[in-house]
Amino acid sequence: MRRTSRPTDVPAGPPQPGNLSHELNRFVGRAAELAALVAALESGRLVTVTGVGGVGKSRFAAHAAARLPRSLCPDGVWRVELATVRLPELVEYTLAEALGLTDHTTRAPRQVLVDHLAERRLVLVLDGFEHLVDACASLIRDLLRAAPGLRVIAVGRRPLAVDGEQAFPLAPLTPADAAELFADRATALLPGFQLDGRTLIDVLEVCRRLDCLPLAVELAAGRLRVLSPPQLMERLDDRFRLLRGGGRDALPRHQTLRTTIGWSHELCTPQERLLWARLSVFSGSFDLEAAEYVCGGESLLADDVVDVLDELLAQSVVVREEARGEVRYRMLDTVRAYGAEWLDSLGDGRRMRRRHRDWYMGLATWCELDWFSPRQGEVAARVETELPNLRAALEHCLTEPGETHLGQYLAGTLWFYWAGCGRLSEGRHWLDRSVGLDVEFDDGDVCPGFVDEDTEYGASRLKALWVLGYVAILQGDTVPALAALQECREEAERTGDATALAYAVHRTGCLALVTDDMPRAEDLLRTALAGYREIGELNSNVLMGQVELAMALAFQGDLAEAVALCADVRQVCEDHGERWTLAYALYVLAYAQWMEGGYAQARGLLDECLAIDHEFHDLLGTVLSMELLALVTLEEGDAAEAAVLQGAAARMWPSVGLPLFGSAHYNTPHERCETQARQALGDARFAELARSGEQLEHDEAVARALSRGRRQRPTTAVPHPARLAEPVGQKREPAASRTWKGGETAG
């Protein structure tokens, strides 16, 4: 069969912004539909591609979106996968995640999205929303009203019913295109396969009997490993009669797809069917180790999972993915749903969901320990990849009777991801839910670190409370933060939990620090560090407490002890490979260098600090570094660039929390820089340059700040501003006698 040309191929040029994945095999047919969808999107702002499951809606929409003219979406095409999202309240978080947004404030996620999209011209591909219609319709309606440059391609089995929506029903392939699709996939499987003569007649009949649905055609082509085209037709006859699903009023095409999947299921061995059912508990992708643990056991040994999984891969029941050298697996949502029904019919769903929960609780525990190591970046990437499964485990714990304490443990254990990787808003969601539930216990359940099942407050709840307080502090939400920390402290004292007590005191000191009560912050942080030493605790949190103490001292004028504390932290971080806390220590050391006039040294420290913060999506660290870099840039004689950097920082602050933490101490570098830059440039020029900085996207702003050290600096210097504070000269206990040594065991 002659293959038709593809007029929709992308012309050569720079890559389109966005997150669309590259296609792994050839897209077949639908040239007229592709042109019609582009035309519909040019004339309207919301087009919903509808159709029966298996008709190829997702692939079609992504293929069309990748070929939209750049003039229609200069800010890119962004695909949002909703198939793994089970809760309506997570739709906004998922959209923000797809757009790469990080926000630390208490602003509603919808407002964050509105603010981000308001002045952009881009296309969203909202895929797999049918189980979240109400939430998606409400969100898209608000976004379209607030963002005139936004266009949306929605993909689902029904329209959203939003004003201005254009429905785009997607029909099955033509028989010729379906046969070409069959041949393309068959050739990849069997290189000698040819679509001619009797084979062409048989394949056309197979496609016709499958209503030319792309998913059904691809599944059928995958069966050529063991069946010839004539045998395919014989099996279709048998399976259509045997597996006709759905009620009497169900659409025939729905029945046809179910029959196709059921037929693939029937051709599986008992072990393959069992693994198919058990794999349905995963959300998103999974790796082999997880599959072996969760799915291995009765009737299917863990050692046999890899061989059975290989057969499911060969039959296209499971899809293989590879990223960063790691192989992972995924089930198409329709296939997963079929497996879930089968699992429930076996009466094994609850047990398998508990095994899934156990694996991901173990993963979170390991990641928390490994965060304090040279693998910190790998840990962040791993949790990012596993987030859909971690969400599923959290939701299971917080809805399954008797497992609330496990949900509290899991939400608290992920503190490093919520606070260290820019996920404060979602972390707050899970923490608020977990501490708001009463704890009940199932017989035999044991939560790692839980103190006493007869006590209302165990270690799991206490950990969730101090982590909640910490997250709320970073969001600038001080009242709930204080309430959570006070509750944690009181119960820790009552139950004798020295670990929770130290963390509660520490985070209360952090709250004092960001609310400008430096003497109280110093007192609480010293108390917390003494508590950590007593119990032998050493990790990123402990080192951060030492950095926060150094900040409190520096803001009170004691630069010498602040530098000693952070130099010690720097050494311990280097010994352990820790980088997240290291960035904050570098910030304090850079601050001290600026105070002493060491601008080149300060810039070197801040460059490293900013690069780390940006890598971990830590907005707070990023914006603090940007503010101090602007001041150093001013000192080096470039008032214009300092104004640009201040504008870039000003754009970031609303996503961090309280502007400049509401602190006179944190605010002083900003005020000094702005005052001196205005004097050097004049008010009008300063405002113009600051506005240009505000136009920079986050990545652009960071790249510009980091490139400063590689450019030639002006020789005309701006007069040095007054110092923030003079050292008070007070003698303090030497830092080395109170700080942590790299050889101690991590807590």
Q: How far apart are CA 199 and CA 205, in angstroms?
A: 10
User: Would you state the pLDDT for residue 428?
Assistant: 95
Q: Is the pLDDT of residue 261 over 80?
A: no
Each residue's pLDDT tens digit, 636-671: 999 999 999 999 998 888 887 655 444 566 677 888
Each residue's pLDDT tens digit, 608-619: 999 999 999 888
pLDDT, average across residues 112-134: 91
**Residue 439 pLDDT level (bands cut at 50, 70, 90):** low
Comparing CA positions, the residue from 428, 335, 736 lying closest to residue 566 is 736
Q: How far apart are CA 614 and CA 208, in angstroms?
A: 54
**Residue 725 pLDDT level (bands cut at 50, 70, 90):** very low
pLDDT, average across residues 304-312: 92
Of 267-276, 474-483, 730-739, least confident by mean pLDDT is 730-739
| Backbone dihedral angles phi then psi of residue 418, each to the nearest 5 degrees | -60, -50
Q: Is the pLDDT of residue 468 over 80?
A: yes
Q: What is the mean pLDDT of the chain?
A: 84
| pTM > 0.85 | no
**Residue 6 pLDDT level (bands cut at 50, 70, 90):** very low
Query: How many Cα atoms sit within 13 Å of 175 on the Cβ side?
Result: 9
- Using the Cα atoms of residue 139, residue 142, residue 144 and residue 147 in order, give the sign of their dihedral: negative
Q: Where are the alpha helices (DSSP H) in 133-280?
A: 133-146, 175-189, 197-209, 214-222, 229-242, 252-267, 270-279
Q: Is the pLDDT of residue 597 over 80?
A: yes
- DSSP for residue 301: -
